């Protein structure tokens, strides 16, 4: 059992792997602890896997898991967590946006007795204005909608105790939102702050679609508020319809020529139609996640590994 396992998902990171490995080993050697590096190749289409093979042959502390295809960042992290042997586990990105040098401080805090130490972004460079404002809004929205406390402005970069890892392994959900799950688990949690640099090489593997998917997984996994909103809205609309009914009946009795009101009719029909569609969509989001869990397929498929 090593002191520390470092879990790193890899998706087209050929430009980062050599530097990452150099900086990581330099830092870890300096810390005088035993460690293992676990790389999960999440269906890269570049030379990432070749580079990982190279590292593994020259360094026995390098472990790799090669997925059969791209399963996504959260699943890759989960696969790594399924196999860590460290007393403590660090999760970090491969693109050096999570600086390896921060491991010293993370480990220190961990040694002070915190089971979870996450790195909070004080600032972030090289991110589009749109992405920054979208995440800003999203995390605050999620914080208000969920009953558990998910720390603001943090990604998955953190150190966690093996007790937390064991709990994560026991959580059966197929839709992974690790930062939410870790908040749910509890224990003593604290944070350190850092300025997030730009990606060192290559391009982001998080397309807009993947990012939206992650956001939806976070909301549906940790909040029922959207469903409640639908219910409340339904109640309000029903109440309004009731009042309208009284008005319509009254008009019918008191007036003789009643063929007017095409506009109001159309507006009502279109509006209610739209609201209903949204409501069904929200229910569908939850339903599809229930479906994923019920299907109970394996979370990922491994082609090859040196464990």
- Does position 205 interact with ligand UDP (CB under 6 A)? The reply is yes
Query: Please, which residue, 98 or 115, has the CB nearer to Mg ion?
Result: 98
Contact status, residue 151 vs residue 121, Cβ threshold 8 Å:
no
CA 206, CA 210: separation in Å to the nearest integer? 6
Residue 7 token pair: 């879990």
Q: Which of 95, 115, 153, 217 binds ligand UDP (CB under 6 A)?
A: 95
Beta bridge partners of 134: none
Least spacing, CB of residue 204 vs Mg ion, in Å? 6
11 binds, among ligand UDP, Mg ion, none (CB under 5 to 8 A by kind): ligand UDP
Q: Is 155 helix (H, G, I), strand (E, B) or coil?
A: strand
Dmax of the chain from CA atoms? 93
Least spacing, CB of residue 12 vs ligand UDP, in Å? 7
- The burial of 276, by beta-carbon neighbours within 10 Å (0-12 exposed, 13-18 middle, 19 or more buried), is given as middle
Residue 101 DSSP one-character state = G
Q: Read off φ and ψ for residue 191, nearest 5 degrees.
A: -140, 160
Beta strand spans in the chain (E)? 4-10, 35-41, 62-67, 88-91, 116-124, 154-161, 189-196, 302-305
Tell me which residues touch Mg ion (CB under 5 A).
Answer: 93, 95, 97, 199
Query: Please, which residue, 82 or 87, has the CB nearer to ligand UDP?
Result: 82
- Candidates 138-146, 201-209, 216-224, 227-235 — which segment interacts with ligand UDP by CB under 6 A? 201-209
User: Residues 6 or more apart from 7 whose CB is under 8 A from it?
Assistant: 38, 40, 77, 80, 81, 84, 89, 90, 91, 92
Q: Which of 37, 38, 94, 219 binds ligand UDP (CB under 6 A)?
A: 94
Query: Please, which residue, 125 or 251, has the CB nearer to ligand UDP?
Result: 125
Q: Which of 204, 268, 276, 305 binds ligand UDP (CB under 6 A)?
A: 204
94 binds, among Mg ion, ligand UDP, none (CB under 5 to 8 A by kind): ligand UDP
Least spacing, CB of residue 95 vs Mg ion, in Å? 4
In the complex, the residues that contact ligand UDP under the rule CB under 6 A are: 9-11, 13, 42, 70, 72-73, 76, 93-95, 97, 199, 204-206
């Amino acid at each position: 059992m090593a002191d520390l396992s470092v879990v790193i998902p890899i998706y087209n990171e050929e430009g980062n792997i050599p530097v990452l490995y150099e900086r990581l080993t330099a830092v870890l050697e300096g810390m005088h602890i035993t460690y293992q590096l676990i790389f999960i190749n999440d269906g890269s289409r570049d030379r990432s896997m070749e580079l990982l093979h190279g590292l593994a042959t020259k360094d026995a502390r390098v472990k790799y898991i090669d997925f059969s295809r791209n399963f996504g960042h959260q699943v890759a992290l989960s696969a790594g967590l399924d196999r860590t042997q460290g007393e403590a586990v660090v999760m970090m990105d491969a693109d050096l946006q999570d600086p390896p040098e921060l491991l010293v401080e993370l480990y220190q805090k961990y040694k002070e007795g915190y089971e979870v130490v996450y790195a909070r972004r004080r600032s972030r460079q090289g991110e589009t204005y749109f992405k920054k404002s979208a995440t800003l809004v999203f995390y605050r929205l999620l914080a208000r909608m969920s009953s558990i406390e998910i720390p603001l402005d943090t990604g998955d970069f953190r150190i966690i105790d093996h007790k937390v890892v064991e709990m994560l392994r026991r959580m059966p959900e197929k839709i992974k939102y690790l930062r939410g799950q870790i908040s749910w688990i509890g224990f003593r949690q604290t944070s350190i702050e850092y300025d997030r640099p730009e990606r060192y090489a290559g391009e982001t593997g998080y397309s807009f679609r993947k990012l939206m998917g992650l956001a939806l997984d976070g909301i549906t996994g940790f909040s029922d508020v959207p469903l409640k909103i639908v219910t409340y809205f339904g109640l309000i609309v029903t109440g309004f319809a009731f009042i309208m009914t009284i008005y319509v009946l009254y008009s019918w009795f008191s007036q003789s020529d009643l063929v007017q009101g095409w506009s109001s009719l159309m507006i009502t029909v279109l509006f209610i139609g739209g609201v209903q569609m949204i409501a069904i969509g929200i229910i569908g989001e939850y339903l599809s996640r229930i479906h994923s869990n019920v299907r109970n397929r394996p979370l990922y498929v491994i082609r090859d590994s040196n464990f």
